Amino acid sequence: MSEPPPTTATAGGLFDGVLAAGPVRAAVDDRAWLQALLDVEAALARAQAAAGMIPAGSAATIADACRAERFDVARLGTDAAAGGNPVIPLVRALRAAVDPDTARHVHAGATSQDIMDSAAMLVARRALAALTPDLVAAADAAARLAAAHRDTPMAARTLLQQALPTTFGLVAAGWLTALDDAVDRLDRIRDERLAVQLGGAAGTLAALDGHGPTVVGLLAAELGLAEPTLPWHTDRSRIAELAGALGAAAGTLGKIARDVTLLAQTEVGELVEGRPGGSSTLPHKRNPVAAVAAVAAATQAPGLVATLLGAMIQEHQRAAGAWHAEWRPLRALFESVGSAAHWLRVCLTQVRVDADRMRSNLDATGGALLAERVSGALAGTIGRGSANELVAAAVARAAEQAAPLAAQLAAEPRIAAALSRQQIESLLEPAGYLGSAPALTDRALARHASRTEGAQ
C-alpha cells in the first residue's frame, strides 16, 4: 500500500490541521449534517408515497428539493434558536421551496427529533465509512512491521522499566490485533445498531393514521438503516454504544501512538518517524509529530464519550435538553477519532525500526533481564528460593560495580557448581528467551490475513 501524502491544513479552524485531520471531518461537518437531514426528509416522503399516503409526484418533488446547496447553513443555525433545533427552520425552508400542494406533505407525521436522530445515524454511517480505511491501513502497516520483525529482539518494559526480552514483532502484533478489534466493534455498530428514528411527537406514530409501522420499515429501507422495534427517542443506548466503540478505538490509537513516542525518545532511539518534525527553536529535534498528533486527538475522546453517556438520562418520552446535548460532542468525537486514525496511519506507514539500537538497549543492563532464566535453571539443583536469592545478590553486585552479570554469577560458588560459565553466558542471551513471541506473532498475522481475505 502506498504511503498517504503528508497532511496539510485545509480550510477550517486554526487547530483543525492537527486535531481534525483526515477524511472524517468532512463527513461530519455542517454541510454533511444538513444533507443528512434533507436525505431523511426525502426518504420519509418516498416511504409515505410507497405506503400510499402521499402522491408519488409530491415525493419526487420533495426529494428533488432536498439538496444542501439550496439552503443557507448559517441562517438555519441562527433560526434554530427560536425552536431549539435546526429541523424546524429547515422544514419551513423546504416547504417554501416546493409548491403549496406539495408543501403539505413535507415532514408529514414526523417530529424534529425523528429527523435529527435519523440524520445522526446517517452521518455516523458515512463517518464510519470514512474512518475505517485509516484504521485498516494502520492495521496493515502494523502487520507489515510484525512480519518484518517477527524475530527482532527488544526489551519488554513494565512500569517503564526493562523487564524481559520480547520481539518488536510481538509488540507490533499487539498493535495489530487491537486495531483489528476496533474495526470489528465499529463494523458491528454500523451494521446492527444504527437505526432509523420515526415515532412522531410522543412515539406513538399517531399522525400516520395506522400506517406507522409500515412507513418505519420503508424509511429504514430507503436510508439503509436498521429498523428498530420501537421509537428510541429517550432510549439512547444506540448513541452510547457508538460513543463507546469510538472511545475504545481512540484508546487503541492513543496507546499505539504513545508507544511510538516512548520508543522514539533520544535515550531509547528504537523507532524514528519517516518524516520527523522539527522545533521552532531547536535545530536538532526529530519529533515524532504524527504519533504526537495521534495522542493529542485520542486524548480528547474520553471526555466526549462521558458527555454522551451522561446525556442518556432523559425524561419521559422526549428529553428536555439531554438530547440536544449530544449533537456537538458526537461530531467532535468523530473528528477526534478520525484525526487519531489518520495520524496513526501516517505514523505506522513511515516509521523506521532500529534493530541495532534495540539490541544495544537489551544489553544495557549487562544481562539482568535474563536473571529470571538463570534462577529457573538453578532451581532444580538448589531450590527456587535459594536460586532467587543468589541470583538477586549477583545482580545487585553487578549493578553496584558496573560489572558484567555473567562474571558475578560465575563467581558465586553455589552457582558455579551447578552451571558452567558457558552455560551462564548462554542463559544470558536475550534471543534464547523469547518464549512464544514468534508463534504469537504468527497467530496475529494469520488472523489478520484471514480477515483481509474475507473482506475481499
Residues serving a catalytic function are 279, 318
**Mind spelling out the 3-state secondary structure of the chain?**
CCCCCCCCCCCCCCCHHHHCCCCHHHHCCHHHHHHHHHHHHHHHHHHHHHCCCCCHHHHHHHHHHCCHHHCCHHHHHHHHHHHCCCHHHHHHHHHHCCCHHHHCCCCCCCCHHHHHHHHHHHHHHHHHHHHHHHHHHHHHHHHHHHHHCCCCEEEEEECCEEEEEEEHHHHHHHHHHHHHHHHHHHHHHHHHHCECCCCCCCCCCHHHCCCHHHHHHHHHHHHCCECCCCCCCCCCHHHHHHHHHHHHHHHHHHHHHHHHHHHCCCCCCCEECCCCECCCCCCCCCECHHHHHHHHHHHCHHHHHHHHHHCCCCCCCCCCCCCHHHHHHHHHHHHHHHHHHHHHHHHHHHCEECHHHHHHHHHHHCCHHHHHHHHHHHHHHHCHHHHHHHHHHHHHHHHHHCCCHHHHHHCCHHHHHHCCHHHHHHHCCHHHCCCCHHHHHHHHHHHHHHHHHHHC
